Amino acid sequence: MTFHREETVLIPESDLDGMSLDTLAVRAGQLRTGQLEHSDAIFPTSSFVYTSAAQAAARFGGEEPGNIYSRFTNPTVQAFEGRIAAMEGGERAVATSSGMAAILSTCMALLKSGDHVICSRGVFGTTNVLFQKYMAKFGVETSFVSLTDLDEWSSAVRPDTRMLFIETPSNPLCEVADMEALAKLAHDNGALFVVDNCFCTPVLQRPLEHGADIVIHSATKYLDGQGRCVGGVVVGPTKLMDEVYGFLRSAGPTMSPFNAWVFHKGLETLPIRMRAHCDNALELAAWLEQQPEVERVFYAGLESHPQHALAKKQQKGFGGVLAFCLKGGREEAWKFIDATRMISITANLGDVKTTITHPATTTHGRLSPEDKSGAGITENLLRLSVGIEAVEDLKTDLHRGFQALQNASNT
The string of pLDDT tens digits covering residues 6-17 is: 445 555 557 888
Q: pLDDT class for 281, splitting at 50, 70, 90? A: very high
Q: pLDDT class for 125, splitting at 50, 70, 90? A: confident
- Cβ pair 220, 230 in contact under 8 A: yes
* Helical (H) or strand (E) element with 289: helix 270-289
Percent of the chain with pLDDT over 70: 97
**Amino acid, single-letter form, for residue 391:** V
Using CA atoms, how far apart are residues 407 and 272, in angstroms rounded to an integer? Answer: 39
Residue 397 makes CB contacts below 8 A (sequence gap 6+) with 340, 341, 342, 343
Tell how strand 321-326 and strand 294-298 pair up.
antiparallel
Using CA atoms, how far apart are residues 45 and 135, in angstroms rounded to an integer? Answer: 33
Using CA atoms, how far apart are residues 164 and 260, in angstroms rounded to an integer? Answer: 28
- Cβ pair 201, 167 in contact under 8 A: no
pLDDT at 148: 97
Using CA atoms, how far apart are residues 119 and 142, in angstroms rounded to an integer? Answer: 7
Burial 365-379 (b: 16+ CB within 10 A, else e): eebeeebbebbbbbb
Q: Which burial class, exposed, middle or buried, applies to 65 when counting CB atoms under 10 A from its CB (0-12, 13-18, 19+)?
A: exposed
More confident residue, 409 or 161: 161
Mind listing the pLDDT tens digit for each residue in 378-409? 999 999 999 999 999 999 999 999 999 999 88
Mind listing the pLDDT tens digit for each residue in 238-257? 999 999 999 999 999 999 99
Phi, psi of 268 (to 5 degrees): -60, -35
- Cβ pair 99, 219 in contact under 8 A: yes
pLDDT at 12: 56
- Cβ pair 354, 410 in contact under 8 A: no
pLDDT at 243: 98
DSSP assignment string, 135-192: IHHTT-EEEEE-TT-HHHHHHH--TTEEEEEEESS-TTT-----HHHHHHHHHHTT-E
- Cβ pair 229, 351 in contact under 8 A: no
- Cβ pair 130, 103 in contact under 8 A: yes
In the beta sheet, which residues pair with residue 294? 326
**Helices then strands (H, E): number in the chain?**
16, 14
More confident residue, 88 or 18: 88
More confident residue, 34 or 369: 369
In the beta sheet, which residues pair with residue 11? 32
- Cβ pair 14, 30 in contact under 8 A: yes
Using CA atoms, how far apart are residues 30 and 10, in angstroms rounded to an integer? Answer: 9
Mean pLDDT of 343-362: 96
Please provide the average confidence, as pLDDT, over all residues in the chain: 94
* pLDDT for 5 beyond 60: no
Domains of the chain: 11-268 (3.40.640.10), 271-409 (3.90.1150.10)
Q: Positive or negative CA dihedral for 178, 326, 222, 164?
A: positive
The pTM of the full predicted model, rounded to 2 decimals, is: 0.93
pLDDT at 1: 44
Mean pLDDT of 129-136: 96
* pLDDT for 87 beyond 80: yes
Residue 42 makes CB contacts below 8 A (sequence gap 6+) with 76, 257, 258, 261
More confident residue, 30 or 276: 276
CA 56, 60, 64, 68: dihedral to nearest 10 degrees? 80
pLDDT at 10: 57
Using CA atoms, how far apart are residues 368 and 382, in angstroms rounded to an integer? Answer: 18
